[in-house]
Amino acid sequence: MAPPYETSAASESPAPVVTVDVTAASDLITSAGHRYVDVRTEEEMGKGHLHNSLNVPFMFITPQGREKNPLFVEHFSSLVSKEERVVVGCQSGKRSELACVDLMAAVSSSVINQWIDMSVVCV
C-alpha cells in the first residue's frame, strides 16, 4: 500500500478546514447555492452519489495502493470557478479534508469539507 498522503503544506500551519455535518451541508447545497464536489473514485461514485454532484477524484486506486491524483487541483479548477462556493465530500471525510487543504492552498474559492453518511444523503 502507498504511504499515507501528506500535504505540501505539512510544515506550515494551513488555515483550518471548516467541517460541517450532513444536514448543514444539505442546507448549503439546496438553500445557499453551494456546489457539491465528491472526491471519491469513479468506482465509488458508481455505487451512488448526490444528484448534480461533480466528481473530481482526489486519489486513485492503483496496484500499489491509493495514490494522490497529481492533477486534482487543475481538474477541480477547470470545473469550478473561483467565485463559486463549494462543499467537498467523500465517504469518511478524510480525503475531502485533504482535498480542502490542497484547494485552500491553491484556489481562492470558498471550500467546506463535509463528512457523508452515504445511506443518509445519497439519492
Question: CA-to-CA distance for 98 and 100, rounded, in angstroms?
Answer: 5
Other residues' Cβ atoms within 10 Å of the Cβ of residue 3: 9
Q: What is the CA radius of gyration of the chain?
A: 14
* Phi-psi category of residue 37: left, alpha or beta, with phi > 0 → left and psi -120 to 50 → alpha: beta
Catalytic residue among 90, 99, 103, 104: 90
Contact between residue 59 and residue 40 where contact means Cβ atoms under 8 Å apart: no
Q: Is 90 a catalytic residue?
A: yes
Which three-class secondary structure state does DSSP give residue 70?
coil
Catalytic residues: 90
